[in-house]
């Protein structure tokens, strides 16, 4: 298939693109390259791509694609809270518009990177895809609205699928240090402390970015009737953990580290456990390969091999909110998170 991947230069996209290419797909990227200076390890090999803001895509630019995999988004709560109106503009309105113009352009498959964050504050019960939405952040709410809009477009000619990813972790060329597993390992390696910033009680479903990428590939190649207008939790039911449990694993893996609770860390409103049986039941080719323990070991090995320091880990290179604020201070980004340094929308790169 000829596949457009939006957000291909991001944390997940740089893992997904090589996987799609290895499976024989013709991949084109679309990204504003906001994090191109935030490389960890070897830089990713860029596919042919459009350097542009997802809010500026036209139907003409989508012609000839069999599928769109839509990852581009404001990707975490601190950045989402920086300007909630912009979060909704990108994660809801631009995502819904992209699906609509993809349909107009003749694209038949559309896979949306949604999130289990839309379940929000939900307590201790396992939630399947029929559970009520209870988002507590603009990020989570924007995913609800986008899914609902895309579902209205579903018909015989256009097939959207919604992948509700659990909280991601794992090594990537565009590493994020603001995700809970990555963050706990990063502090343990660089400071000796497994620093918990809440009271440790919230539940989180956790999934490696390679397994998220496998879900996109499996859904892309699945029979249409198996995934048409369906939402799927992405992860494994066994991979739901309290934050304190993750910290204990990190303490066991990272030599000499000790768990410490940050002063003033109280309960986190985001607390949810998800059941993930639906996707492997619907798409037999999908299964997860990673556990949190194995992921912690991968992160530990990568951080040690790179001689990562605490100053580096806490820098804008790995913390998205710091990077965005830095780009705004340098007047590369405006308040709506639009780049000022683009020559023209749709300039081809790679």
Q: Is the pLDDT of residue 135 over 70?
A: yes
Q: What torsion do the CA atoms of 189, 194, 198, 204 make, to the nearest 10 degrees?
A: 80
26 inside domain: yes
pLDDT of residue 344: 47
Do 87 and 139 form a contact (C-beta atoms < 8 A)?
A: yes
How many Å is the Cα radius of gyration of the chain?
A: 19
Q: How many CB atoms lie within 10 A of CB 284?
A: 10
Residue 168 has which token pair? 């991601």
CA angle centred on 85, ends 150 and 123, rounded to 5°: 70
CATH number (domain holding residue 283): 3.40.50.720
Do 265 and 155 form a contact (C-beta atoms < 8 A)?
A: no
Q: Kindly tell me the sign of the dihedral angle through the C-alpha atoms of 299, 302, 305, 308.
A: negative
Residue 276 has which token pair? 């993930």
pLDDT of residue 308: 97
pLDDT of residue 271: 84
* Residue 27 backbone dihedrals phi, psi, to 5 degrees: -105, 135
249 inside domain: no
263 inside domain: no
List, for residues 31-79, the tens digit of each pLDDT value: 999 999 999 999 999 999 999 999 999 999 999 999 999 999 998 667 7
The residue behind tokens 């952040």 is: 137
Q: Is the pLDDT of residue 80 over 70?
A: no
187 inside domain: no
Cα–Cα distance between 53 and 340 in angstroms, integer?
11
306 inside domain: no
List, for residues 108-129, the tens digit of each pLDDT value: 999 999 999 999 877 788 999 9
Q: Is the pLDDT of residue 297 over 50?
A: yes
What is the span of the domain harbouring residue 212?
Answer: 2-175+207-237+274-290+325-349
List, for residues 198-228, the tens digit of each pLDDT value: 888 889 999 999 999 999 999 999 999 999 9
List, for residues 222-264, the tens digit of each pLDDT value: 999 999 999 999 999 999 999 999 999 999 999 999 999 988 7
pTM: 0.95
* Residue 103 backbone dihedrals phi, psi, to 5 degrees: -60, -45
Q: Is the pLDDT of residue 319 over 90?
A: yes
218 inside domain: yes
Do 247 and 261 form a contact (C-beta atoms < 8 A)?
A: no
166 inside domain: yes
Q: Is the pLDDT of residue 145 over 90?
A: yes
67 inside domain: yes
Number of domains into which the chain is organized: 1
């Amino acid at each position: 298939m000829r596949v457009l991947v939006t957000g291909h230069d991001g944390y997940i996209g740089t893992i997904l693109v090589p996987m799609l290419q290895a499976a024989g797909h013709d991949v084109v990227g679309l990204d504003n390259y906001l994090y191109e200076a935030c490389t960890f390890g070897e830089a990713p090999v860029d596919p042919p791509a459009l350097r542009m803001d997802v809010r500026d895509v036209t139907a003409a630019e989508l012609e000839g694609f069999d599928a769109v995999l839509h990852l581009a988004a404001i990707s975490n709560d601190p950045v989402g809270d920086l300007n909630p109106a912009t979060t909704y503009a990108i994660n809801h309105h631009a995502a819904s518009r992209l699906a609509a113009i993809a349909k107009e352009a003749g694209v038949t498959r559309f896979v949306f990177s949604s999130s289990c964050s839309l379940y929000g504050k939900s307590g201790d019960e396992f939630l399947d895809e029929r559970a009520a939405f209870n988002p507590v952040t603009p990020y989570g709410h924007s995913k609800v609205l986008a899914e609902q809009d895309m579902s209205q477009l579903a018909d015989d000619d256009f097939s959207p699928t919604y992948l509700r990813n659990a909280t991601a972790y794992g090594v990537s060329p565009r590493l994020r240090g603001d995700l809970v597993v990555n963050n706990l390992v990063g502090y343990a390696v660089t400071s000796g402390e497994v620093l918990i910033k809440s009271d440790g009680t919230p539940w989180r479903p956790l999934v490696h970015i390679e397994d998220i990428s496998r879900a996109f590939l499996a859904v892309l190649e699945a029979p249409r009737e198996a995934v048409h207008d369906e939402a799927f939790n992405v992860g494994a039911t066994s991979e739901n953990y309290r934050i304190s449990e993750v910290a204990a694993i990190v303490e066991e893996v990272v030599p000499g580290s000790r768990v410490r609770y940050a002063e003033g860390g109280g309960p986190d409103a985001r607390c949810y456990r998800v059941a993930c049986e639906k996707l492997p039941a619907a798409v037999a080719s999908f299964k997860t390969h990673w556990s949190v323990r194995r992921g912690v070991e991968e992160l530990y090995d990568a951080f040690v091999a790179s001689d990562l320091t605490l100053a580096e880990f806490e820098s804008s290179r790995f913390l998205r909110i710091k990077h965005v604020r830095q780009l705004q201070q340098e007047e590369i980004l405006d308040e709506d998170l639009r780049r000022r340094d683009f020559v023209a929308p749709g300039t081809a790169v790679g």
